[in-house]
Amino acid sequence: MPEKNVFQRIIDREIPATIEHEDEQCLAFRDIAPQAPTHILVIPKRPLRSLADAAAEDAALLGHMLTVIRTLAEKLGLQTGYRVVLNCGPDAGQSVDHLHFHLLGGRSFGWPPG
């Protein structure tokens, strides 16, 4: 049995996290090393390693997660804007092999990203 990654352990409540939203499809919780005043990770509950592994049948799940992000941004008062990031693969800096969106807000962001 392969070792569980850290996000699967958060889903299974084996390690603590500050959870902001949970439903049958996804979980949203505060990033342990925030890069902005608001930094939340939104992950699917089912194991999906990265966007590169997503298939056509994952479209509804991905759309649902973006809707959750929009609702969270509203709830957390990010009216002046926010950034949504999904790192896919090593060149993008993906460090946990469980697909996740970053929701970042509470400051302004530069472009292009580093």
Query: What residues are annotated to the active site?
Result: 100
Q: Which position among 23, 93, 107, 109 is part of the footprint of ligand 5GP (CB under 6 A)? A: 93
Q: First CA to last CA across the chain, in angstroms?
A: 36
Nearest approach in angstroms of CB 112 to ligand 5GP is 17
| 6 is an interface residue for ligand 5GP by CB under 6 A | yes
By beta-carbon proximity to ligand 5GP, the closer residue of 50 and 56 is 50
Sequence-separated (6 or more) residues with CB below 8 Å from residue 33: none
Binding mask 31-70 for ligand 5GP (x = CB under 6 A): xxx-------x-----------------------------
Nearest to 106 by CA among 73, 59, 69: 73
Q: Which position among 61, 62, 84, 96 is part of the footprint of ligand 5GP (CB under 6 A)? A: 96
Pair of tokens at residue 96: 């946990």
Binding site for ligand 5GP (CB under 6 A): 6, 15, 17, 29-33, 41, 87, 93-96
